[in-house]
Amino acid sequence: MTAQGVTGPRAPAGVRRERGATVIELAMLMPIVLAVVLLIVQVTLWFHGRQVADAAAREGARIARAGGSDGWQEAAEGKARQIVQAIGPQLLKNAQAQAWEQGDQRGVEVTGSAVQVVPLLPAMTFTITSRFGGPIECFRPDDGSDGCE
């Protein structure tokens, strides 16, 4: 038997030099792929935190608009904080609710920060602010008087 029959056919000289090139290419691309995946997760968590802030501000504004003249601020802010705690206290960190009134408009502003996934961006904060409000609901009595109850 010939040497070729025992060891098999020899590969061309250029092919042997490329062994392991795929592993090196993958090692070079994986940090980029990982960074893109983490960025997508970060944007998703920011968006979800914004949804939590919107829901809390909307519910707080509903209470603020329907509230009377006394204690509506505490009730509206409390409702907004309650919604954040119920939906996702970890999705909106350091959440704060602030009731506001401007003329015949009332509402609530909720501010917090989104969860940070990318550890290489410590200087970047993902602050979320949501503000909802509307006209104060005024229920007029049936006796024809002009004042709100």
Mean pLDDT computed over every residue of the chain: 83
Is residue 123's pLDDT more than 70? no
Note whether residue 92 is domain-resident. Answer: yes
Note whether residue 140 is domain-resident. Answer: no
Where is average pLDDT lowest: 14-18, 73-77, 117-121, 141-145? 14-18
Task: Kindly state the tokens that stand for 129.
Answer: 């602010």
State which residues form the domain around 112: 17-135
**Stretch 119-132: mean pLDDT:** 79
Note whether residue 43 is domain-resident. Answer: yes
pTM: 0.73
Note whether residue 6 is domain-resident. Answer: no
Q: What is the pLDDT of residues 60-91, one digit of tens each?
A: 999 999 877 788 999 999 999 999 999 988 88
Note whether residue 131 is domain-resident. Answer: yes
Note whether residue 30 is domain-resident. Answer: yes
Total count of domains within the chain = 1
**Stretch 8-34: mean pLDDT:** 74
Task: Kindly state the tokens that stand for 20.
Answer: 């392991």
What pLDDT, on the 0 to 100 scale, is given for residue 143? Answer: 75
Note whether residue 83 is domain-resident. Answer: yes
Is residue 10's pLDDT more than 70? no
Where is average pLDDT lowest: 46-50, 86-90, 114-118? 114-118
**Stretch 47-63: mean pLDDT:** 94
3-state secondary structure the chain: CCHHHHHCCCCCHHHHCCCCHHHHHHHHHHHHHHHHHHHHHHHHHHHHHHHHHHHHHHHHHHHHHHCCCCCHHHHHHHHHHHHHHHHCCCCEEEEEEEEEEECCEEEEEEEEEECCCCCCCCCCCCEEEEEEEEECCCCCCCCCCCCCC
Is residue 57's pLDDT more than 60? yes
Q: For residues 95 and 122, give the distance between their C-alpha atoms in angstroms, rounded to a whole number.
A: 19
**Stretch 38-58: mean pLDDT:** 92
